[in-house]
Amino acid sequence: MILKIGKFFISAVIFAVISAVSVSAFASSGSSLFSSEGCVACHTINGNGGQVGPNLSHIGSQRSLSWIKTQIVNPGAHFASGSAVTINGKSYMAIMPNHKSMPASKVNAIAGYLESLK
């Protein structure tokens, strides 16, 4: 009996450690995905990136998590594709590509990262 509780306790500790490690990996992967998925070519964060789309350095104080997820997957839901749009007083051509085939895990990680930029 004591042995069983001991095993359970050890597996619970191992599980907690693994979850803690994967949660922190999840949090950091949003920023690396922002580069590896090509977002950085068009968007600047903290001085790094392109100018084709809006600066996202403070996007988390302007848009909600779910709004950002929708923007990544289907920007046409917010901005008519190819039209001229004004965001934060600047004018852009709405040419952001959709990411309909991006796995939800990646969408969630990038959106979570952007939402944290206040």
Query: Could you say whether residue 79 binds ligand HEC (CB under 6 A)?
Result: yes
Q: Please list, residue by residue across 9-34, b when 16 or more beta carbons sit within 10 angstroms of its beta carbon and e when fewer do.
A: eeeeeeeeeeeeeeeeeeeebbbebb
Tell me whether strands 44-45 and 84-87 are parallel, antiparallel or unpaired.
Answer: unpaired
Name the residue nearer to ligand HEC (CB basis): 19 or 64.
64
Task: Measure the CA–CA gap between 80 and 78, rounded to whole angstroms.
Answer: 7
* Minimum gap (Å) between residue 118 Cβ and ligand HEC: 14
Number of chain residues interacting with ligand HEC (CB under 6 A): 28
> What is the pattern of x (binds ligand HEC, CB under 6 A) and - over residues 35-64?
--xxx-xxx--------xxx-x--x--xx-
**3-state class of 93 per DSSP?**
strand
Query: Could you say whether residue 84 binds ligand HEC (CB under 6 A)?
Result: no
> Which stretches of the chain bind ligand HEC, using CB under 6 A?
37-39, 41-43, 52-54, 56, 59, 62-63, 68, 71-72, 75, 79, 85, 87, 92, 94-97, 99, 110, 114
